[in-house]
Structure 1
Amino acid sequence: MFSPRGASAGPFSGLTQRLVAASILLALVVGGGFAVMLLAIDELRADDRRTRRAQRVTVAATQLQRLLLDLETGERGFILTRQAQFLEPWAAARAGFARRARDLLALTAGDAETTQRARSIVDAQRAYIDQYSVPTVEAARRGDPSAGTGARATDGKRRVDALRAQFDQLLGPEQRRSAAAAASSEAASRRAAAGAIVGLSGSLVLIVLYVAYLRRAIVLPVRRAATMAGRVAAGDLGARLPEREAGEIGALELAFNVMGDSLERNRDELAALAEEQAALRRVATLVARGAPPDEVFAAVAEEAGRLTGADLTVLSRYESAAESTSIAGWSRTGRRLPIGSRSALGGHETRTLVLETGRTVRIDRYDPDDDSVPHAWRGLRSGVGAPINVEGRLWGAMTVACEREEPLPAGTEDRLAAFTDLVATAVANAESRSELMASRVRIVATADETRRRIERDLHDGAQQRLVSLALQLRAAQTTVPPELRDLDAELDGVATGLAGVLEELRETARGIHPAILSEGGLGPALRTLARRSAVLVRLDLRVERRLPEPIEVGAYYVVSEALTNAAKHAEASAVDVRIDAVEGVLRISVADDGVGGAEFGGGSGLVGLKDRVEALGGSISVTSPPRAGTAVNVKLPLGDDVSAPPGT
């Protein structure tokens, strides 16, 4: 898979081939030394065999010669002295001749020349015994005077001298052979020692060179690889091995560097992905918590610009097929952005192309001479635009651009798509919230108007009718004769009942929509509400000006519902009500000393208050720990004019 430098330079370029060649060379040197030693040892063995044979032949011939001398000595002594004691060694020598002769012949077997000489000696000695020595001794025993004559002695001496000469002829070559074998053994010993020294020295030199080569070719590269692997494991993905070895180690170095490159690319890709996910998560967090669209748009512009490496990011909303509005932007270079302004569409630029195609577009080179390109986009070299689709319609576009010569990196389109989805979600959420808030405002306004109409209808209709009936009843009562006291009493009771019904109807009408709130404003209405409360109310009202009617109505019903809950459910003895207006916000605080435990959805009327407050764009919170009272805190936005009269 990998082809490091020099990997195919020759038959022994690979590390395995080099190790095999070095091993073969080492084996040849060691084997050669041992071969020399074995040959020398074999030669020493042959020389030793020849030496031992020569020595045995020499010993056997010497022993046979000694028998000859014993024969002659015993023979001569007996002839001269006629004493039988000289015949003992003679008889022993004669008896041992045959065995010694066989030994000599056996030892000389295999060498024709030596065997011939040995056989001549044996035959001559046997002839000497049979033809001279035995007849002479027998003659001497018989007393034959001829046994001691000079002629017989001369003949015996001649025979012995001839035998000695034959022994010398046999022993001389054997001694020379022994000496030659000894010399050869010495030479072989020297050759064996030299072979051993050369083999051992060569083996040591090759082993040292072999170890040095292994250290340079394997140990040091592997150690470098282990060091680099440790650095990679510690997080240094830029660590690389120098690719200077051949064969398998070179392949290892190349593979390590390829792995390092791959890990570094993967790290960069993961870092880019993590950065992208973090940017998307930050924007998604803003969208999820319902941040204002302007804040979301600004965050998207900055995050997308930093993530893609662009110099400029602009979010545009299409107003028509010919115009768009720049609603957010970000610049790395400090370029002035036309945020909030409308500009015409047209020419070869991303917003126009996105509107025409409805897809992501890329421009790798803007034409600096194209007059149709808006002035704000002049000087840009490349750009990418992505559509923002909200609920199936093309709402706007997001453009990233750079002033550098090189175009934006690949993948910019995919990254923009993720951000445009978040922008679309934020826009859809904002539109949904706006529609929901408008719907809530319409519902609250309709409910308030319905209350006013019911209160007006009760006041102008049923209430006036009851007053008229009561007056007619009193007029009829005055015409009752005195004797009809029972009828007068009944009419009086009916009139009193009508007056009670009328009073209850008036109270009901005031609860539906107090007239004093419309006539006198929030302050008088709350003071009246506090006086009529069944629980002691400490009112701290710091707003004396008239507020917008929806705000006054909302504040009135917040306090009214809180006082009703304190009286009916909280078992409170006192309630503190504080109202003030600071920095365009009306803050309402109602706190009692009751049993606590109130919560939204508990049937306490707080859900209706929450809907009313949120419909006005405000917020409400309830703190009600058990046995520690209940505190209701409300914030209502007043807008720019906090003193506007009702109905404006």
Structure 2
Amino acid sequence: MALRGRFDGPEPEVGAGLTRRMLVASGLLALVVGAAFTVLLVTNSDLRESEQLAFHSEEALVAANRLERLVVDVEAGERGFLVTGQDSSLTLWRSGQAALPGQAASLARMVADNPQQLAVANQIARDTASYVQDYSIPLIATARRNLAAARTPAAVDDGVRRIDAIRREFDRFTAAEQDQAAARQDNSAAVALRAFVATAVGLGGSVLLIVLFTVYLSRAIVGPVRRAAGMAGRLAGGDLTARLPERGVGEIGVLERSFNTMAGSLQVSRAELAASRARIVAAGDQARRRIERDLHDGIQQRLVSLTLELRTAEATASPELRAQLTEIAGDLIDATDDLRELSRGIHPAILSEGGLPPALRALARRSVVPVELEVDVPARAPEPIEVAAYYVVSEALTNTAKHAEATIAWIDVHVRNGVLRLSVRDDGVGGAAASHGSGLVGLIDRVQALDGTVEITSPPGEGTTVLVHLPTERY
């Protein structure tokens, strides 16, 4: 009989569902992180641009302020000259007059990208140039000639009018630039808020996806792998009924089905092996019983008949022949006893005829070591169970007599809840092990073939205990 040691049916096809899901999840995570970083880069660029525009507005305001101070310097210089008439008062006037064109041009360059502000800056440049060329220089020239003529109300009012017009242009330029600066500041705040929101959303989304991905990996891979490892441990421990729930996706599902198929195949193989061992043991017992019956009914009966015939011949023989026949008859009786003992070792007839209790009592009587026997088997156990229990006790008593140096042995046999429990103990030297002899190994094989268990406890100096459990309900 061939035992199935491999999987039946075609090889399972390994899917790629789990791989696809992991790729999709990884791609989604990379997409969210990439989008968040892209938004951050864009917002950072907008922030830098807003900061540059704000700085540019500050520079334009500083340049306009400088130009306005130069106009004030020119006005103050000319007024000082009109009051004192001293040429030293024109120092500030001359320096302001010389710097005005360059500062006006610098202001125009700063706002060249803003047409409205450029128009105002150009107007300021024209007004300041007109003030210097058309009013201030001619006024100073008139004052040099006639100081009183330069101090007339008409001359003073013309200067005030021109200065007020220039100041209005400066106020207009400054107000517009401040409005632009405020708008740019608001835009910078909005950009910063978007950057914060994008960062928070990207970070939160990334954390959420990582948590979900971790949970998914734990449920889809880590959990099933741990269950598979636990099942492998149970299989290694001999529990071939262990199975995995086939709920996995893709490759994990294939792994679970493969594990279950393997466990099923091993379970079937073990069942077939156990059945084969039981059949072998049963066949061996039947053969031993047949041999014992043949010996008892054949050779043993033949020897008994021969002995009787010799006794008959002995009665009618001469004295010399009678002595020889008596000796031969004695030898035949001894041979019959040896054959009877041999047949009992092959298979005890008392076990087949009376069951386990009388057979164990016979073993106890023949034992070299004194035995205390307790048997509680209300009904006949199945024949394989009785035979196994008998030979366990026989082998244990033989080992006790040969190796244990014991003074007494205790035998306890009872049946509870469909299990025959057999215990053989002695007070010998201990140290027994199944690996030390073929007798115990054979008994273990016989018991295990019947789905039973054997436990041997034999610490040195504390005696030996052989404990056997045999199920009786399956037969």
Q: 1:545 corresponds to which residue? A: 323
Partner of 1:232: 235
Contact map agreement 2:73 2:96 (CA 8 A) in 1: yes
Asked if structure 2 preserves the Cα contact closer than 8 Å seen for 1:70 and 1:90, the reply is: yes
Q: 1:122, CA displacement in angstroms?
A: 1.4
Q: In the alignment, which residue of structure 1 is the partner of 2:57?
A: 54
**How far 1:204 sits from its partner (Å)?**
2.4
What is the letter of the counterpart of residue 169 of structure 2?
Q
Q: Give the match for residue 12 of structure 2.
A: 2
| Aligned mates of 2:73, 2:292 — CA distance in 1 | 136
- One-letter identity of the residue aligned with 1:170: F
Contact 1:15 1:248 in 2 (8 A): yes
What does 1:398-437 align with in structure 2 at a 5 Å threshold?
Answer: none
The answer for the alignment partner of 1:583 in structure 2 is: 333
Mapped to 1, the partners of 2:146 and 2:33 lie a distance apart of 80
Q: Kindly state the Cα deviation for residue 585 of structure 1 after the two structures are TM-superposed.
A: 4.8
Q: Which runs of 5+ in 1 are unaligned?
A: 8-12, 284-293, 302-326, 329-338, 341-518, 523-543, 553-578, 587-648
Answer yes or no: is the 8 Å Cα contact 1:50–1:177 preserved in 2.
no
2:165 is the alignment partner of 1:162:
yes
In 1, distance between residues paired with 2:262 and 2:98? 99
1 CA distance for matches of 2:178 and 2:36?
33
Give the Cα–Cα distance (whole angstroms) in 2 for the partners of residues 233 and 91 of structure 1: 107
For the 8 Å contact 2:82–2:147, the answer to whether it is kept is: no
Partner in structure 1 of residue 156 of structure 2 = 153
Equivalents in 1 of 2:138, 2:201: separation in Å?
A: 68
Cα distance, 1:29–1:113 mapped onto 2, change above 3 Å: same
Give the helix-richer structure, 1 or 2. 2
Q: Which amino acid aligns with 1:583?
A: I
Distance of aligned partners of 1:273 and 1:295 in 2 relative to their CA distance in 1, 3 Å threshold: closer
Work out the CA distance in 2 between the residues paired with 1:75 and 1:100. 20
Equivalent residue in structure 1 for 2:226, among 223, 226, 234: 223
SS of 1:177's equivalent in the other structure is helix
- TM-score for the superposition, normalised by structure 1: 0.42
8 Å Cα contact 2:47-2:191 kept in structure 1 = yes
Deviations 1:375-407 (A, max 9, x none): xxxxxxxxxxxxxxxxxxxxxxxxxxxxxxxxx
Distance 1:179 1:299, change over 3 A: farther
Determine the structure 1 residue equivalent to 2:217.
Answer: 214
State the partner residue of 1:264.
267
* Alignment size in residue pairs: 309
2:233 maps to a residue whose letter is G
Normalized per residue, which structure has more strand? Answer: 1
Residue 247 of structure 1: CA displacement?
1.9
SS in 2 for 1:546: helix
**3-state DSSP of counterpart to 1:244:** coil
| Larger RCO: 1 or 2 (CA < 8 Å, sep 6+) | 2
1:87 aligns to 2:90 (yes or no): yes
CA change 1:72–1:273 in 2 (3 A) is same
CA distance in 2, matches of 1:214, 1:117: 67
Q: 1:295 to 1:15 in 2, by over 3 A?
A: closer
Say if 1:295 and 1:188 are closer, same or farther in 2 by CA, change over 3 A. closer
Q: Which position in structure 2 is the counterpart of 1:43?
A: 46
Residue number in structure 1 paired with 2:101: 98
In the TM superposition, 1:378-393 aligns within 5 A as none
Letter in 2 for 1:106: R
Match of 2:290 in 1: 298
The residue aligned with 1:118 is 121
Q: Once the 2 structures are TM-superposed, how far is the Cα of residue 220 of structure 1 from its aligned partner?
A: 1.4
% identical equivalent positions: 40
1:17-58 Cα offsets, whole Å, 9 max, x none, are 222333333333333433443333333223222222222111
The alpha carbon displacement at 1:153 in A equals 1.9
Measured in 2, the distance between the counterparts of 1:202 and 1:79 equals 75
C-alpha separation in 2, matches of 1:22 and 1:120 = 63
Is the radius of gyration larger for structure 1 or structure 2? 1
Give the partner amino acid of 1:133. Answer: S
CA contact (8 A) 1:67 1:97 kept: yes
- Tell me the distance in 1 between the aligned counterparts of 2:64 and 2:121: 8
SS of 2:323's equivalent in the other structure is coil
Amino acid at match of 1:298: R
* Aligned residue among 45, 70, 74 for 1:71: 74
The separation in 2 between residues aligned to 1:75 and 1:273, in whole angstroms, is: 131
TM-score (norm 2): 0.56
Quick check: 189-198 or 27-36, which moved more? Answer: 27-36
Residue aligning to 1:252: 255
Q: Contact 1:243–1:250 at 8 Å: present in 2 too?
A: yes
Task: Name the CA distance, whole Å, in 1 between partners of 2:154 and 2:51.
Answer: 47
CA contact 1:241–1:256 (8 Å) conserved in 2: yes
Alignment partners' CA distance in 1, 2:273 and 2:144: 132
Deviation at 1:61, TM superposition (A): 0.9
Residues 37 and 195, structure 1, Cα contact 8 Å, conserved in 2: yes
> Are the aligned partners of 1:43 and 1:188 in contact in 2 as well (CA < 8 Å)?
yes
5+ residue gaps, structure 2, are: 1-10, 299-317, 337-475
Whole-Å separation in 2 of the counterparts to 1:265 and 1:247? 27
Closer, same or farther: CA 266–79 of 1 in aligned 2, 3 Å: same
Tell me how far 1:581 sits from its aligned partner.
4.2
State yes or no: 1:182 paired with 2:185: yes
CA distance in 2, matches of 1:136, 1:234: 118
Relative to structure 1, is the Cα distance of residues 273 and 98 closer, same or farther in structure 2, using a 3 angstrom cutoff? farther
Alpha-carbon distance between aligned partners in 1 of 2:148 and 2:265, rounded to the nearest angstrom: 127
How far off is 1:154 after superposition?
A: 1.8
In 2 relative to 1, CA 296–64 (structure 1 residues): closer, same or farther, beyond 3 Å?
Answer: same
Distance change in 2, residues 1:585/1:203 (3 Å): closer
Over 3 Å counting, the alpha-carbon distance change for 1:268 and 1:133 in structure 2 is same
Task: Measure, in 2, the Cα distance between the counterparts of 1:98 and 1:44.
Answer: 35
In structure 2, relative to structure 1, the CA distance for the partners of 1:165 and 1:585 (3 Å cut) is: closer
> Are positions 1:191 and 2:194 aligned together?
yes
The match for 1:30 among 33, 39, 42 is 33
1:150 Cα deviation after fit:
2.2
CA gap 1:124/1:295 in 2 versus in 1, 3 angstroms: closer
**Cα shift readout 1:586-636 (whole Å, capped 9, x = no counterpart):** 9xxxxxxxxxxxxxxxxxxxxxxxxxxxxxxxxxxxxxxxxxxxxxxxxxx
| Bigger mean CA offset, 164-173 vs 67-76 | 164-173
Question: Aligned AA for 1:113?
Answer: Q
> The residue matched to 1:235 in structure 2 has which SS?
coil
Distance 1:195 1:547, change over 3 A: same
CA distance in 2, matches of 1:584, 1:74: 162
Over residues 490-545 of structure 1, what are the superposed CA-to-partner deviations in whole Å (9 max), with x where a residue is unaligned?
Answer: xxxxxxxxxxxxxxxxxxxxxxxxxxxxx9858xxxxxxxxxxxxxxxxxxxxx62
